[in-house]
A = this chain, B = another copy of it.
Amino acid sequence: MIKIGILGYGNLGKGVEAAIKKNDDLQLKAVYTRRAPETLTIATEGAQVKSISALESGKEDIDVLIICSGSATDLPQQTPQFAALYNCIDSFDTHAKIPTHFAAVDAAAKQAGKISVISCGWDPGMFSINRVYSLSVLPDGEAYTFWGRGVSQGHSDAVRRIAGVKDCRQYTVPVPAALEAVRSGSNPDLTTRQKHTRECFVVAEEGADLAKIEQEIKTMPNYFDDYDTTVHFISEEEMKQNHSTLPHGGSVIYSGTSSEGTKHVIEYSLKLDSNPEFTGSVLAAYARAAYRLNCEGNSGAKTVLDIAPAYLSAKTPEELREHYL
């Protein structure tokens, strides 16, 4: 059994907990939290809830720590800190800051003789893997990534910060015509606006100026101003009934040529009922890989690009060759 600790018990931490239940060789030992441990009830019998400070000794009885904190401020501090003590997994997803994060985690993990796998999930994660495989097989080509239809938590949060907004769910939606053009292999040039639209379901406070809220959303820099955005005002009941889950998904479509006029289209797509549960499932599989890599004497930071597929599977290499190759 591989003993797992989860740091952080939000949506993602709960997603990892669900994933562990589906893997017979993984065992949840403890959830670590910044909240008062006694205020937290977890779904796994026999696992403990502890303060994050318990991790600091480096003596917790876990093989891998899965860090389920936010990318913006927590992971840049926590992953290097705990990579110096345990094998770690995170889902750091601020693409532009990955090289810096990698360097910090690599130094800490190498020093400790541990493995840390950063930026696991589906993008970065399974989508990255597919971009790299496609690019490697067909170097003369282009990768297109589409997200959605699905809930963007960052965009939903941004709308919630607008005065007069009680709640919001923001869906990112790929533009069907763009998908079609890319799938045809025509390698179109597409602007941000041509690739995705955004759809907001907003619960406003009583008496709020709806036109003003809509205007503020549509012109919000970085988040919405480069997109065509639709805003729907709905009731709290409708929000609860129709928008209580966190579905997501998307596609990486790669189109390339192997010789003059000979085209190939490779598409990898995900339709996910729950973004945090799927992301948690990816993290759990890489926890297994990190443990095995470390048992073999490897150390330092890794990404999904550095780890062979067989390391992720609970099955033996012989079983994989016989039944899945």
Q: Which residues of A contact B (CB under 8 A)?
A: 15, 18-19, 21-23, 95, 98-99, 102, 119, 124, 126, 128-133, 135-140, 143, 185, 258-259, 261-274, 277-278, 280-282, 285, 288, 303-310, 312-315, 317-318, 320-322, 324-325
Closest to A283 in B: B137
With A258-B278, A274-B258, A324-B128 in contact, do A136 and B312 touch (Cβ < 8 Å)? yes
Q: In the bound complex, do residue A22 and residue B321 qualify as a contact, i.e. CB atoms below 8 Å apart?
A: no
Contact A258 B22 (CB under 8 A): yes
Report yes or no: B132 in contact with A309, Cβ–Cβ below 8 A: yes
Q: A254 to nearest B CB, angstroms?
A: 10
Q: Among B259, B310, B325, point to the contact of A119 (Cβ < 8 A).
A: B325
- B residues in contact with A138, CB < 8 Å: 22, 278, 281
Question: Which 5 interchain pairs have the tightest Cβ spacing?
Answer: A136-B312, A258-B277, A305-B310, A136-B313, A18-B259
Q: Which residue of B lies closest to A258 (CB)?
A: B277
Question: In the assembled complex, which residues on chain B have CB atoms less than 8 Å from the CB atom of A267?
Answer: 267-271
Tell me the minimal C-beta distance from A277 to chain B in angstroms.
4
Closest to A125 in B: B325
Rounded to whole angstroms, the CA-CA distance of A178 and B98 in the bound complex is 41
Q: How far is the CB of A16 from chain B (nearest CB, A)?
A: 10
- CB–CB B23/A258 < 8 A: no
In contact, B22 and A285 (Cβ under 8 angstroms): no
A259 to B305, alpha carbons, bound, how many Å? 27
Q: By the criterion CB–CB under 8 Å, are B132 and A282 in contact? A: no
Q: Is the CB of A258 within 8 A of B280?
A: yes
The listed residue (B137, B265, B268, B274) touching A285 by CB distance below 8 A is B137
Q: Is the CB of A305 within 8 A of B305?
A: no
In the complex, are the beta carbons of B258 and A99 less than 8 A apart? no
Nearest B residue to A260 via CB reads B18
CB neighbours (8 Å) of A185 from chain B are 271
Asked whether, in the complex, the Cβ of B271 is within 8 Å of the Cβ of A264, the reply is: yes
Whole-angstrom distance from the CB of A8 to the nearest CB of chain B? 18
- Tell me the bound Cα distance from A267 to B98 in angstroms: 27
Q: Is the CB of A137 within 8 A of B99?
A: no
Min C-beta distance of A219 to chain B, whole Å: 30
